[in-house]
Amino acid sequence: MKNLTAALVLLSSVGMTSAVGQVCAPNPAGDLEITLSPGSVVPRGEPVTVTVTNRSSDCTYFQAGSCLFADVHAGGCDGPVVDGYICLLAITPLLPGESSSQTWLQLDQGGDPVGPGTYAFDLQLLDPDLTGLHLCPEVVVGPACEAPFSYGNPSPGTGGVEPILRTSGGAASVGNNAFEIELKGAVGGAPAVLFIGAGLGELNAPWGTFLLDPSLPILDFPLVLWGTPGAAGDGEQQLSVPIPADDLLVGAEVYLQALIADPGAHLGISHTQGLGVQICP
């Protein structure tokens, strides 16, 4: 831990030892709350703020330098340093209820953006007895959110209008409760079914092409479309699909297609194109 030895020498020289007047039972694992903002998995290029909060009711901890962390390491605190800071020797008490924060801009020592991977922050903290603490929170830098992609061809309905699927409410990122799937361009007032599957496919059917893999899990959501009944292209509907704030979902892919009951379509069924969506940080 950079500057820690010098910090302890300075403390002893000024008589600042564990006899600072506090009597407590330190428990760093329970006393110190470490949070990463916006989360432990973030897109490339998004600043990461590390915050340490002293949740103890009676123990004072210490920050051993002017920086909360002096180095950022690739892969873990035993990995190579990718970014470093010039930190002054400044022993600062972290009193009960107080917090300390520092932000990393996802840059390396040359000022260039880092690539995807795991990065660790070597925190410069001392316990109430002035013993160095090995605390090393990690963040996973993931790819940027990719836009949903269309695949396959739709089958037209009444009036030759092709229904489409698209998304709204922002990126398909974990914790986005505003994410929605939109069905537009179908016949007004018609019943429909939105299918959400784990894999894409191309299964020929008499009425068109089913664009999900039927051998993998599929969920179906019955819908009744808005719009003037029977009006070409006037039918639409929105389905709210909040994405849980679960980092384990990052990288998961889902595939969607909607089928619409439409008397003006071939064999009474029109369908949308396929839509692929990847969950991102």
pLDDT along the chain (281 residues), means of 10: 38 37 83 93 90 97 95 95 93 96 97 92 95 94 85 97 96 91 97 97 96 96 97 96 89 96 97 96 82
pLDDT at residue 143, rounded to an integer: 75
Cβ-in-10-Å burial (0-12, 13-18, 19+) of 279 comes to buried
267: left (phi over 0), alpha (psi -120 to 50) or beta: left
* Fold held by 149-278: Immunoglobulin-like (2.60.40)
Question: One-letter amino acid identity for 74?
Answer: A
* Domain(s) of CATH 2.60.40: residues in the chain: 4-141, 149-278
Give residues with Cβ within 8 angstroms of 133, minimum separation 6: 28, 32, 61, 123, 125, 126, 127
Range 4-141: architecture per CATH = Sandwich (2.60)
- Residue 224: name the closest of 190, 258, 263 by CA: 190
Q: What is this structure's pTM?
A: 0.63
Biggest CA pair distance of the chain? 89
